[in-house]
């Protein structure tokens, strides 16, 4: 089917960089992963076909895998009649066409905590750029002599702001504590690190490395809950263990491929972003499919 760049159903609550979210009543939301792609916090004009379906299916896989560590907001995928047996078909859920159900998730509404809980197991991307220039990561000093893509042991928690528009900004531990309180700041870091370690171990069993990722949390009935997406090729960097070599930039199975093309294009990272060439769109989709299949062990079905 053609790429889904935008959806328009009843009860639109929020249109994010990638996901369109609808209120379907009784504390439930319908979250649809579109094929929009963002880079450097800017939505690109060129969608990636099937990307939203891959993201939704991959998030569901990881939410299921980590459910014993931290509760999450998922009720069920929109095509899972058993999981949604007690969910009335109202609003956007009733209007949703069959060919969009595999990219759509019914979730519980949460009070979002406005922090990107980033954890870095390897130094790469913006983290490597900062270290190369200043010897720091998230404004915290690191030892000298670290090379690109080197493993960080233990992984480092590097939270950032959650910006609706513009760029996310690094946060120090004290800034996180000022925003959500000392106790909640500690709980967020602990939960992020525990989930990351479990996912890293699982990925290694599949011959893959999760270099870094970001998570989001919210409160549902006062309980800390994992929300949004989890270990997708949008929110994480994935490498193959076979290709990994410290001191080099490993081949990625995520949107770093798009970031690299944008940087080489000379774009200044401010809107508007340039159109992606057809071969970049195709190769980006291929990397998302490979990430899904390598990590889940399932064949992707559009």
Please indicate, yes or no, whether residues 97 and 116 belong to a single structural domain of this protein.
Answer: no
Please indicate, yes or no, whether residues 118 and 209 belong to a single structural domain of this protein.
Answer: yes
Tell me: cis bond preceding 272? Omega within 30 of 0 counts. yes
Please indicate, yes or no, whether residues 161 and 217 belong to a single structural domain of this protein.
Answer: yes
Find the CATH number of the domain harbouring 186: 3.30.470.20
Check residue 150 and report its DSSP letter: P
Q: What is the pLDDT of residue 169?
A: 85
Please indicate, yes or no, whether residues 87 and 146 belong to a single structural domain of this protein.
Answer: no
CA angle 160, 48, 41 (to 5 degrees): 20
Q: Please tell me the distance from the alpha carbon of residue 52 to that of residue 63, in angstroms, as a whole number.
A: 16
Q: Among residues of the chain, what percentage have pLDDT more than 90?
A: 93
Please indicate, yes or no, whether residues 253 and 159 belong to a single structural domain of this protein.
Answer: yes
Range of the domain at 236: 112-262
Q: What is the pLDDT of residue 163?
A: 67
Give the model's confidence band at 168: pLDDT under 50 very low, under 70 low, under 90 confident, else very high. Answer: confident
Q: What is the pLDDT of residue 9?
A: 98
> Measuring CA to CA, how many Å separate 268 from each of 124, 168, 265?
20, 16, 9
Please indicate, yes or no, whether residues 158 and 175 belong to a single structural domain of this protein.
Answer: yes
Query: Residue 289 domain-assigned?
Result: no
Tell me: cis bond preceding 154? Omega within 30 of 0 counts. yes
Q: What is the pLDDT of residue 198?
A: 98
Q: Average pLDDT in the 45-67 region?
A: 98
The per-residue pLDDT of the chain, averaged, comes to: 96
Query: Residue 3 domain-assigned?
Result: no
Q: Average pLDDT in the 193-213 region?
A: 98
Check residue 93 and report its DSSP letter: H
Q: What is the pLDDT of residue 38?
A: 95
Sign of CA dihedral 125, 55, 208, 285: negative
Q: Are 18 and 52 in contact (CB under 8 A)?
A: yes
Find the CATH number of the domain harbouring 55: 3.30.200.20
Please indicate, yes or no, whether residues 193 and 238 belong to a single structural domain of this protein.
Answer: yes
Residue 260 has pLDDT above 80, yes or no: yes
Q: What is the pLDDT of residue 167?
A: 65
Q: 68-72, 198-202, 217-221, 256-260 — which is least confidently predicted?
A: 256-260
Q: Please tell me the distance from the alpha carbon of residue 34 to that of residue 55, in angstroms, as a whole number.
A: 9
Please indicate, yes or no, whether residues 158 and 246 belong to a single structural domain of this protein.
Answer: yes
Please indicate, yes or no, whether residues 72 and 87 belong to a single structural domain of this protein.
Answer: yes
Q: What is the pLDDT of residue 162?
A: 80
Query: Residue 300 domain-assigned?
Result: no
Check residue 102 and report its DSSP letter: G
Query: Residue 72 domain-assigned?
Result: yes
Please indicate, yes or no, whether residues 133 and 96 belong to a single structural domain of this protein.
Answer: no
Q: What is the pLDDT of residue 185?
A: 97
Q: Please tell me the distance from the alpha carbon of residue 26 to that of residue 108, in angstroms, as a whole number.
A: 9
Strand ranges inside the chain, DSSP E: 12-15, 19-25, 28-33, 38-39, 42-43, 74-77, 104-108, 111-112, 115-122, 136-137, 140-141, 151-157, 160-161, 208-220, 223-227, 236-240
Residue, of 194 and 162, whose pLDDT is higher: 194
Query: Residue 58 domain-assigned?
Result: yes
Please indicate, yes or no, whether residues 56 and 101 belong to a single structural domain of this protein.
Answer: yes
Number of independent structural domains in the chain: 2
pLDDT 10s digits, 116-162: 999 999 999 999 999 999 999 998 899 999 999 999 999 999 999 88
Please indicate, yes or no, whether residues 105 and 141 belong to a single structural domain of this protein.
Answer: no
Last residue of a domain, one of 81, 109, 137: 109
Q: Please tell me the distance from the alpha carbon of residue 47 to that of residue 83, in angstroms, as a whole number.
A: 30
């Amino acid at each position: 089917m053609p790429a889904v760049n935008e959806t328009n159903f009843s009860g639109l609550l929020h249109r994010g960089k990638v996901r369109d979210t609808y209120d379907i009543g009784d504390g439930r939301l319908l979250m649809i992963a579109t094929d929009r792609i963002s880079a450097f916090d800017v939505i690109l004009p060129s969608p990636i076909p099937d990307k939203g379906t891959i993201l939704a299916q991959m998030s569901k896989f990881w939410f299921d895998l980590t459910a014993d560590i931290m509760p999450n907001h998922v009720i069920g995928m929109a095509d899972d009649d058993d999981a949604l047996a007690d969910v009335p078909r109202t609003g956007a859920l009733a209007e949703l066409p069959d060919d969009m159900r595999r990219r759509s998730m019914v979730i519980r509404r949460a009070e979002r905590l406005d922090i990107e809980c980033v954890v870095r197991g390897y130094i790469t991307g913006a983290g490597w750029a900062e270290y190369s220039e200043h010897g720091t990561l998230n404004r915290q000093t690191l030892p000298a002599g670290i090379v690109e893509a080197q493993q960080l042991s233990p992984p480092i928690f590097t939270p950032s702001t959650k910006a609706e528009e513009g760029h996310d900004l690094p946060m120090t531990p004290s800034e996180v504590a000022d925003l959500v309180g000392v106790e909640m700041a500690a709980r967020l870091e602990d939960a992020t690190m525990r989930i990351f370690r479990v996912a890293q171990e699982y990925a290694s069993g599949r011959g893959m490395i999760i270099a870094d990722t970001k998570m989001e949390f919210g409160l549902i009935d006062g309980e800390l809950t994992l929300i949004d997406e989890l270990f997708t090729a949008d929110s994480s960097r994935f490498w193959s263990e076979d290709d990994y070599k410290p001191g080099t930039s490993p081949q990625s199975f995520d949107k770093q491929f798009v970031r690299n093309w944008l940087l080489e294009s000379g774009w200044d990272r401010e809107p508007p972003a340039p159109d992606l060439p057809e071969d970049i769109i195709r190769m980006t989709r291929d990397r998302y499919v490979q990430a899904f299949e390598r990590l889940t062990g399932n064949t992707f079905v559009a």
